Amino acid sequence: MKPTMDTTQSKLFNAQHTALITGASSGIGRAFAHALAEQGMQLILVARRTEKLKLLAAELQERHRTTCTILPMDLTANDAARTLSLQIEAAGLSVDVLINNAGFSTYGHFGDTPLADEQQLLHLNVLALTELCHTFMPSMAHRGFGSVINLCSTTSFFPLPLQATYAASKAYVLSLSEALWYEYRPKGVRVIGICPGATDTEFFDVLGQDFKGAKASPQDVVRTALQGLADNKPSVVHGWANAIQAHLLPRALTRKSLVRLVGKLSGSVYRSAGEGK
């Protein structure tokens, strides 16, 4: 099912606007691309997998008659944000909507995970996202219009053993998003951190784990994000159960009890993908 916008949401965007979506080739990024293409927006699609980007662009152009620019890129590369900005400028485009969707997680005991993997995670989830915000938000403020959607997580609200660096990175993204919401609100730029729980994407396949709980659809997550943006919220949690978990558990438990509980849960909801179902 395609994500759709209500009247309030659709007023935020029009066919003259251009959206930059990172991690656009699959999952939530792909769902954002369909939702915004439905509004006639021009799209700049960024991901590492060139062929998937080409297929998505062709699909969007055929279905929605939208103009797509694909920029295959590894955002963990040095000066990736600057390179991306120069390519967009060379194409004669400007960014009205920035969707920072690209990200990944490691899994396992912190000391057993290669340091290079943790550094790559921080580069993509934290540094690249920060650089993209810093690159494109000033021009939005100068024009007096713009929107930024940053992908956070329910793990933004508490530490997560076995995914320690990932949860820490998402806590950073949530804090940054809410602070930027306040700073840029008087300048006509909306910022929101969307905090989904488990979602039906490639996330767990890449992680090498089989998640045993329920998963939301990417389309539902996109709907929640766009509605929160329309309501000018600094952040929003997708799903009532996730909202209860995110907002109540940290208040109801001591930090020690919270970490113990989340640590036990994180081990029980995963199983190795090689163990079968």
**Per-residue H/E/C for the chain:** CCCCCCHHHHCCCCCCCEEEEECCCCHHHHHHHHHHHCCCCEEEEEECCHHHHHHHHHHHHHHHCCCEEEEECCCCCCCHHHHHHHHHHHCCCCCCEEEECCCCCCCCCHHHCCHHHHHHHHHHHHHHHHHHHHHHHHHHHHHCCEEEEEECCHHHHCCCCCCHHHHHHHHHHHHHHHHHHHHHHHHCEEEEEEECCCECCCHHHHHCEEECCCCECHHHHHHHHHHHHHCCCCEEECCHHHHHHHHHHHHHCCHHHHHHHHHHHHHHCEEEHHHCC
pLDDT score at 203: 62
Write down the residue that tokens 């992680």 correspond to: 207
pLDDT at residue 158, as a whole number? 85
How, if at all, do strands 97-100 and 18-22 pair? parallel
pLDDT value of residue 263: 75
**The pLDDT value given to residue 14:** 81
Render each residue's pLDDT in the chain as its tens digit; 277 residues: 455 555 455 567 887 899 999 999 999 999 999 999 999 999 999 999 999 999 999 999 999 999 999 999 999 998 999 999 999 999 999 999 999 999 999 999 999 999 999 999 999 999 999 999 999 999 999 999 999 999 999 989 888 999 999 999 999 999 999 999 999 999 999 999 999 977 656 665 555 555 556 677 999 999 999 999 999 999 999 988 778 877 777 666 777 877 777 776 666 555 443 333 3
| Predicted pLDDT at 112 | 95
- The fold for domain 7-270 equals Rossmann fold (3.40.50)
Per-residue pLDDT, 12: 79
Sequence-distant (6+) residues with CB within 8 A of 148 are 97, 98, 99, 100, 133, 136, 137, 140, 177, 180, 184, 189, 190, 191, 192
pTM: 0.87
For 55, residues 6+ apart whose C-beta sits below 8 A from its C-beta are: none
pLDDT at 132: 98
Residues known to be catalytic: 166, 170
What's the confidence (pLDDT) of residue 272? 44
The pLDDT score that the predictor gives to residue 177 is 99
Phi/psi for 36 (5° steps) reads: -80, -30
Sign of CA dihedral 82, 84, 87, 88: negative
Specify the pLDDT at position 209. 57
